[in-house]
């Protein structure tokens, strides 16, 4: 594997340092990643489109205090950190110019270090969970056949500051494919138009985004050869519809655990995965089902018995294993995970609400949405409408949009387990 190393003097200050990358523009983000690889000791990727509180908690969790940026402060000045201004991309070469020549560039072994990449997992607002990776661990499942790779023009609808986004970027880079970069601000319809116009023929996105794409009037013009899905449970209805709309496309479902740093792929256009994967799973991963019906996952080179519990509930039915939701009652809204207790805390902050339970409600567009039920104090029983309104107001104020319940019901009681926890 070869990387091109940028030698601009401005990056001398980052030699062997730990820092974060921040750029709303994906192309700039990619330029910074390439510039820092092999020079910086640790690099934290900060995702775009995030609330400044989340960025702050990610920085705090990683212990990193410096951020490299290419331009434009704006609200980012609110973060109390050291800012390093990188030179404009023209000064050290645009990433897209270099991608075509990647296989010809050699790494200088005496001057490069193994950079540690720190990637935020898809948590909720304020929940900072980080996964540490090296280039080797990130590219474990990347295909490097350049001849095949050259035929693909990849698009990604993921933020580059996420595990999925980085995977698409690295896959495109290592197989010398073209990567079509679109920006969040463009709006979904525009992004699809850009991808279609640029001749994108391979796309990676969550199940919910694929549902949205099927609603687009562009989808008949989209000539896809590779469809990749991940981040959410994918239902058979969606898989069938994708096969119908894009009959020449190969459909790959990726199941990946950011914590474990491994995953596996399913290519048979059926929901879930073959039960034979429990005996032998492609890609050097071992799978098993725990006694509480969750999927256990372990990389092949880990010691025997070293399992990571994914907390994803599964059901074994004949020759198929299907996904049934999250064990802790975690809710997955269009690929974004919501912890019920966060929603419940927001509800409990309302005067008069004594107990709350947030749960997943099935949804045709986003897989799941958040719903909740509450128990009120006796004095408030007469004003049920008022209290529901206050509860919704509190949720909108305290929670991210995807965490807000679509409905809040007033109930007489909420069952609790023997050790005092809300039953899910």
Partner 1 sequence: MRETIVAMMQRIATESGKTLDATLAEETPLLQSGLDSLDFAILVARLERELGEDPFAALETPVYPKTLGELTNIYESHFQN
The footprint of partner 1 (CB under 8 A) covers: 188-189, 192, 208-209, 211-212, 214-217, 235, 237-238, 240-241, 333-334, 361-366, 369, 371, 396, 401-402, 406-407
Which of 38/325 has CB closer to partner 1? 325
Which of 4/402 has CB closer to partner 1? 402
Which of 112/362 has CB closer to partner 1? 362
Which of 80/364 has CB closer to partner 1? 364
Which of 62/366 has CB closer to partner 1? 366
- Least distance to partner 1, CB of residue 303, Å: 42
- Least distance to partner 1, CB of residue 234, Å: 12
- Least distance to partner 1, CB of residue 131, Å: 25
Torsion of CA 157, 158, 161, 163, to 10 degrees: -140
- Least distance to partner 1, CB of residue 271, Å: 13
Produce one character per residue of 201-219: b if its CB has 16 or more CB atoms within 10 Å, e if not: bbbbbbbbbbbbbeebebe
- Least distance to partner 1, CB of residue 125, Å: 14
- Least distance to partner 1, CB of residue 392, Å: 9
Which of 263/340 has CB closer to partner 1? 340
Which of 326/402 has CB closer to partner 1? 402
Task: Give DSSP secondary structure letters for 241-282.
Answer: HHHHH-TT-EEEEEEEETTTTEEEEE-SSSSSEEGGGGT-BT
- Least distance to partner 1, CB of residue 231, Å: 13
- Least distance to partner 1, CB of residue 368, Å: 9
Write the DSSP symbol of residue 92.
Answer: H
- Least distance to partner 1, CB of residue 178, Å: 25
Which of 8/397 has CB closer to partner 1? 397
Angle CA 387–389–393, to nearest 5: 115
- Least distance to partner 1, CB of residue 334, Å: 6
Angle of the 188-197 helix axis to the 207-214 helix axis, nearest 10: 80
Which of 146/407 has CB closer to partner 1? 407
- Least distance to partner 1, CB of residue 363, Å: 5
Which of 218/422 has CB closer to partner 1? 218
Which of 11/210 has CB closer to partner 1? 210
Residue 179: which H helix or E strand, with range? strand 178-180
């Amino acid at each position: 594997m070869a990387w091109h190393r940028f030698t601009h003097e401005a990056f001398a200050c980052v030699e062997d340092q730990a820092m974060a990358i921040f750029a709303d523009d994906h192309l700039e983000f990619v330029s910074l990643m390439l510039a820092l690889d092999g020079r910086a000791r640790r690099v934290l990727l900060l995702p775009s489109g995030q609330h400044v509180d989340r960025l702050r908690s990610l920085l705090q969790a990683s212990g990193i205090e410096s951020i490299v940026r290419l331009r434009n402060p704006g609200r980012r000045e609110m973060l109390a950190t050291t800012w390093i201004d990188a030179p404009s991309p023209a000064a050290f070469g645009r990433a897209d110019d270099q991608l075509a020549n990647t296989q010809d560039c050699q790494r200088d072994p005496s001057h490069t270090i193994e950079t540690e990449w720190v990637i935020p997992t898809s948590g909720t607002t304020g929940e900072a969970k980080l996964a540490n990776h090296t280039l080797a661990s990130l590219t474990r499942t990347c295909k490097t056949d350049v001849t095949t790779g050259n035929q693909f023009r990849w698009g990604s609808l993921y933020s580059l500051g996420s595990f999925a986004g980085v995977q698409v970027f690295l896959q495109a880079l290592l197989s010398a494919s073209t990567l079509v970069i679109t920006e969040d601000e463009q709006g979904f319809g525009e992004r699809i138009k850009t991808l279609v116009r640029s001749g994108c023929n391979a796309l990676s996105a969550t199940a919910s985004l694929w549902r949205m794409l099927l609603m687009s009037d562009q989808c008949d013009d989209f000539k896809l050869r590779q469809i990749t899905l991940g981040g959410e449970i994918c239902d058979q209805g969606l898989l069938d519809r994708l096969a119908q709309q894009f009959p020449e496309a190969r459909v790959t479902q990726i199941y990946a655990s950011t914590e474990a740093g491994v995953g596996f792929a399913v290519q048979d256009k059926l929901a879930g995965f073959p039960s034979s994967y429990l005996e032998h799973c492609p890609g050097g991963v071992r799978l098993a089902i725990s006694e509480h019906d969750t999927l256990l996952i372990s990389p092949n080179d880990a010691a025997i018995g070293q399992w990571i519990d994914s907390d994803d509930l599964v059901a074994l039915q004949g020759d198929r294993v299907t996904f049934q939701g999250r064990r802790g009652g975690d809710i997955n809204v269009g690929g974004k995970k919501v912890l019920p207790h966060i929603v419940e805390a927001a509800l409990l902050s309302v005067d008069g609400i004594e107990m709350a339970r947030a749960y997943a409600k099935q949804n045709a567009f986003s897989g799941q949405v958040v719903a909740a039920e509450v128990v009120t104090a006796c004095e408030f029983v007469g004003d049920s409408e008022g209290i529901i309104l206050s509860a919704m107001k509190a949720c909108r104020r305290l929670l991210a949009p995807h965490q807000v319940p679509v409905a809040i019901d007033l109930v007489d009681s909420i069952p609790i387990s023997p050790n005092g926890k809300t039953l899910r």
